[in-house]
Amino acid sequence: MEKMNRVNTISGRTMFCHLDAPANAISVCRDATQVVVAGRNIFKIYGLEEDGFVERLNLRVGRKPSLNFSCADVMWHQMEENLLATAATNGAVVTWNLARPCRNKQEQLFTEHKRTVNKVCFHPTEVNMLLSGSQDGFMKCFDLRKKESVSTFSGQSESVRDVQFSMKDYFTFAASFENGNVQLWDIRRPDRYERMFTAHTGPVFCCDWHPEDRGWLATGGRDKMVKVWDMSTNRVKEIYCVQTIASVARVKWRPERRFHLATCSMMVDHNIYVWDVRRPFIPFATFEEHKDVTTGIVWRHQHDPYFLLSGSKDSTLYQHMFKDASRPVDRANPEGLCFGLFGDLAFAAKESLMAGPPSVGDVGRKTYPGGDRRYPIFFFKKPDVTEQFAQVSSALSVFESEAGSSVGMDWFINTAQSYLLSGKPFAELCEHNAQVAKRLNRLQESTTWTMLRIMFSEPANPSLSTNHNLNKSGNLPLVNSFSMKEMSAALNERNKENRQDNIHSLETNLNNNDENEETEGSEGQAEYLFGDAELDDDDLYSMEHDNQAAEEPEYLLPQEAFPLRHEIMDHPSAPEPVQEKPESPHVSGSEAESMCLTPMESISLISVSQLLFSPHLPPKFFCPIVKEMLCYYAEQGDVQMAVSVLIVLGDRIRKEIDELTQEHWYMSYIDLLQRFELWNVSNEVIKLSTCGAIMCLNQTSTTLHINCSNCKRPMSNKGWICDRCHQCASVCAVCHHVVKGLFVWCQGCSHGGHLEHVMEWLKQSKHCPAGCGHLCEYT
Partner 1 sequence: MDYRLGTQCQFVQNQVMVNSEKDRASLLCMKALANRGRLDTVSQQMASHPQYLESFLRTQHYILYMDGPLPLPYRHYIAIMAAARHHCRYLVSLHSAQFLRVGGDPIWLQGLEAAPPRLQHLDHLNKVLAHQPWLTARSHIQALLKTGEQCWSLAELVQAVVLLAHCHSLCSFVFGSGSDSDGTPTPRVHHGTPPGYCLCDAANGNTTLSPPPAGPTEKASRRRSLDSSCEVACLLEQIKKSQEEIKERKGDRLHSQTLLHSDVEEEEEAMFSADPSRFVTDPEFGYQEFARREEDHFQVFRVQDYSWEDHGFSLVNRLYSDIGHLLDERFRNVASLPFPHSPDLKRAIWNYIHCIYGIRYDDYDYGEVNRLLERGLKLYIKAVACYPDSSKTPLCPLSWGPVKASEKVHVNLLVMEARLQAELLYALRAITQYMIA
Minimal distance, residue 87 CB to partner 1, in Å: 11
Minimal distance, residue 266 CB to partner 1, in Å: 6
Q: Quick one: which of 7, 17, 239, 246 contacts partner 1 (CB under 8 A)?
A: 246
Q: Quick one: which of 122, 173, 185, 205 contacts partner 1 (CB under 8 A)?
A: 205
3-state secondary structure of 147: coil
Give 501 or 628: the residue with its C-beta nearer to partner 1.
628
Q: Between residue 38 and residue 67, which ones bind partner 1 under the rule CB under 8 A?
A: 40, 67
Give 222 or 652: the residue with its C-beta nearer to partner 1.
222
- The CA angle 563-696-653, to the nearest 5 degrees, is 75
CA-to-CA distance for 5 and 474, rounded, in angstroms?
100
Residues 6+ apart with CB under 8 A from 684: 421, 422, 561, 562
Binding mask 109-148 for partner 1 (x = CB under 8 A): ----xxxx------------------x-------------
3-state secondary structure of 473: helix
Q: How many CB atoms lie within 10 A of CB 166?
A: 20
Tell whether residue 627 is a contact of partner 1 (CB under 8 A): no
Tell whether residue 665 is a contact of partner 1 (CB under 8 A): no
Q: Which residues of 558-573 are buried (b: 16+ CB within 10 A; e: fewer)?
A: ebebbeeeeeeeeebb
Per rule CB under 8 A, count of chain residues that contact partner 1 = 28
Which residues make beta-bridge pairs with 229?
A: 217, 238
Minimal distance, residue 267 CB to partner 1, in Å: 4
Give 539 or 658: the residue with its C-beta nearer to partner 1.
658
Q: Quick one: which of 90, 157, 614, 668 contacts partner 1 (CB under 8 A)?
A: 90
Q: Between residue 729 and residue 748, which ones bind partner 1 under the rule CB under 8 A?
A: none
Stretch that binds partner 1, among 44-52, 57-65, 264-272, 724-732 (CB under 8 A): 264-272
Stretch that binds partner 1, among 87-95, 255-263, 467-475, 586-594 (CB under 8 A): 87-95
**Helices (H), ranges, 612-658:** 623-636, 639-649, 651-654
Tell whether residue 363 is a contact of partner 1 (CB under 8 A): no
Whose CA is closest to 161, among 174, 176, 172, 173? Answer: 176
Give 224 or 303: the residue with its C-beta nearer to partner 1.
224
Give 68 or 471: the residue with its C-beta nearer to partner 1.
68
Long-range CB contacts (< 8 A, 24+ apart) of 521-524?
523/550, 523/551, 523/552, 524/431
Give 40 or 472: the residue with its C-beta nearer to partner 1.
40
Tell whether residue 86 is a contact of partner 1 (CB under 8 A): no
Stretch that binds partner 1, among 83-91, 236-244, 351-359, 527-535 (CB under 8 A): 83-91
Q: Between residue 144 and residue 183, which ones bind partner 1 under the rule CB under 8 A?
A: 178
Residues 6+ apart with CB under 8 A from 480: none
CA-to-CA distance for 32 and 26, rounded, in angstroms?
13
3-state secondary structure of 309: strand
Stretch that binds partner 1, among 107-115, 396-404, 441-449, 466-474 (CB under 8 A): 107-115
- For CA atoms 751, 753, 757, 758, give the dihedral sign: positive
Tell whether residue 89 is a contact of partner 1 (CB under 8 A): yes
Stretch that binds partner 1, among 102-110, 121-129, 198-206, 279-287 (CB under 8 A): 198-206
CA-to-CA distance for 356 and 371, rounded, in angstroms?
18
Tell whether residue 72 is a contact of partner 1 (CB under 8 A): yes
Stretch that binds partner 1, among 45-53, 262-270, 535-543, 704-712 (CB under 8 A): 262-270
Tell whether residue 635 is a contact of partner 1 (CB under 8 A): no
Stretch that binds partner 1, among 261-269, 272-280, 384-392, 635-643 (CB under 8 A): 261-269
Which residues make beta-bridge pairs with 731?
A: 738
Ramachandran quadrant class, 482 (left: phi over 0; alpha: psi -120 to 50; beta: rest): left
Tell whether residue 91 is a contact of partner 1 (CB under 8 A): yes
Stretch that binds partner 1, among 2-10, 201-209, 428-436, 440-448 (CB under 8 A): 201-209
Whose CA is closest to 311, among 30, 38, 6? Answer: 38
Tell whether residue 203 is a contact of partner 1 (CB under 8 A): yes
Give percent helix, percent strand, percent coil of the chain, each to the nearest 5: 30, 25, 45
CA-to-CA distance for 709 and 725, rounded, in angstroms?
10
Contacting positions for partner 1 (CB under 8 A): 22, 40, 67, 70, 72, 88-91, 113-116, 135, 178, 202-203, 205, 222, 246-247, 266-268, 270, 291-292, 314
